[in-house]
Structures are given as C-alpha cells and as structure tokens.
Amino acid sequence: MAVRILVLTSSTGGGHDARASAFRRWVRKIYGWEVEVRVESMLEDSSRIARFGVAFYNFIQKHAPWLHHPYFFLVEGLSCLNRSRVTLGKRYYSEVIRNYKPHLVLSVHDCLNRGYFQEARAILGKENVRCATYCSEYSGGYGYSRNWVEPSVDLYISRTHTAKNYAVTQYKLDPEKIIVRGHFLVPRIYEEKLSAIEKHRFITERLGLRSDRKIIFLATGGTGANNHLSLLPAIKQYSETFQVLVVCGRNNEAFMKVRNWKRNNPDMRCHVEGYCNEMHLFMQVSDLVVTRGGTTTCSEALHYECPIIFNGLGGVMPQEKLTVKYFLQDESAEIISKPADLERLLMEWSRFPERFRDLKRRFRNMRFKDRPSEVIYDLVDLAHDVLPERERPALKVVGE
C-alpha cells in the first residue's frame, strides 16, 4: 500500500502554493514514486464564498494593502466558525478525504487547519490519519493568525524558534508537538548555484546589464503587486552606481508600463521580466532586493545573502509585518514608505559604500540552517506510521 499525503493550500499570495509545490518536489526527489502527494487548493475549489475571499485578498494586496488590517480581523473569525468542523466547503473537502483516504493531511495555509483536521479524523477514524501544519511565519505578534494553531495537530513545523515560542506562549500549543526546520524552498534553490564566471555571463548575456554596477532587484510575488513605476525614477538618480532588474509577475499591465518606461529612459540600465521561473538566479546576481514582506522571496534573499529593502508603499499587511519585524530587529534590512526613502538610501550608499557593506554583513548574520529534506522525513514517517505494520511499504530513499 502506497503512502498517501494530502496537502492543503490556497493562492492567497504565492507563498503557500510555493511551499506545497516544494513539498511535492522534495518527496518526488527523495522517494521517487513510493509516496503519493495530492495538492488541493482547498479554499478556492470547495466554496464560492472562500473563492471570493481569496480573490479579494489578492486584489487588495495589489491595490490597497492597508485594507488587509480589517480583512485580517474578519479572517480571524474563522477560528470560531471552524472550531471543530469545516464551515465553508465541507462537502467538497469531505469527498476528497473519502475518495483519497490520505494517511497524512498537511496544511501549509493558516485557514486550513482548524476544523479540517477534525473532519479528516471523523471520516477516516483517528487511528487512520495524522495531521500536520507547516507554519511559514518568521515571528509572532500582530499578524500571526490564530488559525495557524489547531491544538490537536500531531506535528507542527515552525520556520523559526521565534515563531515557535509565540505559538507556545500565546496559543498554548504543546511544545512537544513542535519542531523548527527553517525554510521550505524547492530543491533547485539548493542545486542551481552560479559560479563567479556564470554570474558574470548571466548578468551580461542573459540580462544585458553591466557587471561593474550594483543590481537592484525590484521583485514581486506571483500576483504582480508592485510599485515599480514609483521607484524607478529614484534609482535613475544614481544610475552611475546602480542598475535595475525588474520582475512584474502575472501583471501584464505593469509589465507593459515598465517596458515603456525603459524605452523612454535609455540611459538607465534596466532589464524587465514578466512572470518567470528564474527568481533564484536573479537573486544570486543581485546586490539587494526591494520586495514586500512575502515569506518566499525573503527566504530566497536570506538563502542567497541578498539584503532586503522592504516595500512599505501603501502600508504593510498584517502577515507581512511578522517578516518585516524579524529582519528589522537587528537592523539587518531597511524599509521604505515612499520613493524618497529609497533615494535617500541610495544616496547614502553611493557616498558611503562601507555602510552598505555593514548592512550586508548584518543581513548575512541572520542566515540560519534550513533542513528541507529533514522536513520530508518527518512528515513521511508520520504518514507511514499510520499504516498497519503488515501493510507498510519499505520506503527507499532514491535521492536527496
């Protein structure tokens, strides 16, 4: 009998789906086809109301981040609605559980824990399924959703010790159920590392930029929320020192506007991309990245030691505050709330380059060991132990 794992995710931003994809790819890399993984966008697929909520989340992320503050409190109400059962989309979720019969339900989204674990146990029997959560938050406080914590969870995986301590102290989660495993990035992040020669070639040939100027990476999540057009003029003021790499995500309107800006400013070195799968390569050749507090982009920046300027234009969403706070606590990053703030930083670093070197050193010191393969062992073993001993397959590791 094959081990079956159901992963619950939702496309509020791109980070949750990225972690679901990372889990599936790591399982395939380590166990081949010995372990089955099914990924479900449960909020969107199970309920029209939930689907609207996801779309609204992504809309205000693009256009009005400040609206996430009342939205956050609204979503927190799910902790009461889903205290012991699934309220929205119960029929669809129940059908998935009955048909797939997972040995492990893994949630990588804050709104897919409470009620979902109880429902799976009620259908399959408590002895026949295990439940786990991967919480991607960097720290605790305002923005850390209570929906992350379902006290009956069998295994709670936290990104950092800071976030773990918050779950224990604030929500009384049993510390024996929690392990800290760091980031959860796709395998290629660890495999595709550019050498110095490859970086030079990538910058000059792939991007058409100069190798003797610092690269500012204007990043965005998959939904394409950005303020690129507001920030580009500030960078242009210091084009003798800095050049820019722009990614617009799934935002074709922004892509066309930035391309038009580039045509009208030929004296500014600029490379523009839409949606791409080379973020990990862009991060390796960049000297700093301007991004919102999305956990996936920030994790890649930390992995590649690329300092962060947090984009606070329009406000910082509650969930992003946790990431921003984590990096700002040791002055290991900067945050801007208007284009003039970016211009001020670039002026300072142009005149006093040692200050940028100090920032990079502090940022590098924030780096911690992440253990993606160990997360896979933890979760697959949890699922494997559910099977009756006589039916357990002898799992073979085919790669790591």
* pLDDT value of position 223: 60
- Rounded-to-integer distance, Cα 116 and Cα 131, Å: 9
Q: Which two structure tokens, joined as six digits, stand for 41?
A: 């966008």
Q: Which two structure tokens, joined as six digits, stand for 375?
A: 């997360």
- Helix/strand/coil for 105: strand
| pLDDT in single tens digits along all 400 residues of the chain | 689 999 999 988 778 888 999 999 999 999 888 899 999 999 999 889 888 888 888 777 777 777 777 877 777 777 676 777 888 888 999 999 999 999 999 999 999 999 999 999 999 999 999 999 999 999 999 989 999 999 999 999 999 999 999 999 999 999 999 999 988 888 989 888 999 999 999 999 999 999 999 999 998 865 656 788 999 999 999 999 999 999 987 778 888 999 999 999 999 999 998 888 888 999 999 999 999 888 888 999 999 999 999 998 888 888 889 999 999 988 999 999 999 999 999 999 999 999 999 999 999 999 887 778 889 999 999 998 888 766 665 565 555 5
* pLDDT value of position 378: 92
Name the pTM for this structure.
0.88
Q: Please give the full DSSP string across 13-71, using - where no structure is assigned.
A: SSHHHHHHHHHHHHHHHHHTTSEEEEEEEHHHHH-HHHHHHHHHHHHHHHH-GGGHHHH
**Residue 40 bridge partners (DSSP):** 8
- Rounded-to-integer distance, Cα 332 and Cα 12, Å: 27
**How many whole angstroms from its chain centre is CA 359?**
23
With vertex at residue 100, the alpha carbon angle to CA 11 and CA 385, rounded to the nearest 5 degrees, is 100
* pLDDT value of position 215: 97
* pLDDT value of position 294: 85
Q: Which two structure tokens, joined as six digits, stand for 278?
A: 């080379």
**Residue 270 bridge partners (DSSP):** 244
* pLDDT value of position 390: 61
Strands ordered across the beta sheet of 130-135: 35-41, 3-9, 104-107, 130-135, 155-158, 178-180
Q: Which domains does the chain have, with CATH numbers?
A: 3-184+370-391 (3.40.50.2000), 188-365 (3.40.50.2000)
